[in-house]
Amino acid sequence: MNHANSLNDKSGSLHNAELCLKLFDKLALEKDLAEDNHRDIVKFKHLFKAINALKRFKLLNRNQPYTPQQLIINFANGNILKLINIVLEQNPKSYLAFDKLYRILNDMILFYNDDNHKDGKQHADNYYFNKLKTACIESALIDNNFNYAYKQSLELFDYLDGKEDSSQIDDLWLTFYQVGKYVSPSWFENSGEQVDLGILTKQREILSLTILNLQLKENSKVVLAQWMSLNDKIQRHSLENNIEAVKERFDNENSQFKHSKKHLENIGNLATEIISDASKTTNNASEKLSNLFVSGLGWAIGANQQS
């Protein structure tokens, strides 16, 4: 394994190492092995599971692919989370694969046996889960995927709500604060684009949950200040929307009034034309009758006899 130059377990030294592991695993079923040997086989099986999953991600060390030996050495002594952070940094959409990352994390923990943290708070069964969750939330914000970060934050609050040690929020508050500070790049790129009231409301919700669970320290003042800033924006935004709604309604009613007035003017003009046409028709009829009477009278007195 130390001679493998990549995480590809389908060929080369790593492939040979995996074949040896499978052979030892088979022998373990047929013969009694010492406890230490059996434990080593189990540990390396977890390592190979992690490697098999990691090879699907981009994972470079100084622009070169990580080797199994580098993987084992660089992330020992409590640096397992550093490995996950590198995956998230080098693979912008990897935060969406939370379950896969969590399995990798667990397999690496089982390989190292987490001996360095048995007496510390990192030994808590949900420590790595919380850290991975917050890392994925922050990666989502970097990727401008606020809705994902919001939903994952709510899930984490629900998860923590069922735990006896509610003080864990003190270790995670900065992530929730970043959710509350999120600013969409489009709000700057398009000066005419309005701030999304829905996003502001969700940010305020996350900060409200943070304040409710956070211990009263300096951190709580920072979170509270951001909550107040968001609340002011929401109220101002709501007021502006109400004013715009009133103006729009007034414009619509004014437009309808103008339309009705114009409609009445058209009806009046049409009526005038009808009356005018009727008058012309009446005048023509009167003229024809007059001519008829004149012609008839002339005939009666012999005015047209010569013709």
Over residues 49-62, mean pLDDT: 91
- Residue 197: pLDDT above 60? yes
**DSSP per-residue codes, 249-296:** HHHHHHHHHHHHHHHHHHHHHHHHHHHHHHHHHHHHHHHHHHHHHHHH
Q: Which residue has the tokens 């007059």?
A: 290
Looking at every residue in the chain, the average pLDDT score rounds to 78
Summarised one tens digit per residue, pLDDT across range 76-121 is 888 899 999 999 999 999 999 999 999 999 999 999 985 544 445 5
> pTM of this prediction?
0.73
Summarised one tens digit per residue, pLDDT across range 16-38 is 677 777 777 776 666 677 777 77
Over residues 53-68, mean pLDDT: 90
User: What whole-number distance in Å separates Cα of residue 35 and Cα of residue 38?
Assistant: 5
Maximum separation of any 2 CA atoms in the chain, in Å: 155
- Higher-confidence residue of 131 and 1: namely 131
User: What whole-number distance in Å separates Cα of residue 66 and Cα of residue 237?
Assistant: 50
- Residue 133: pLDDT above 60? yes
Summarised one tens digit per residue, pLDDT across range 3-21 is 676 676 666 667 667 777 7
Summarised one tens digit per residue, pLDDT across range 198-256 is 999 999 999 999 998 887 777 889 999 999 999 999 998 777 666 655 556 655 655 55
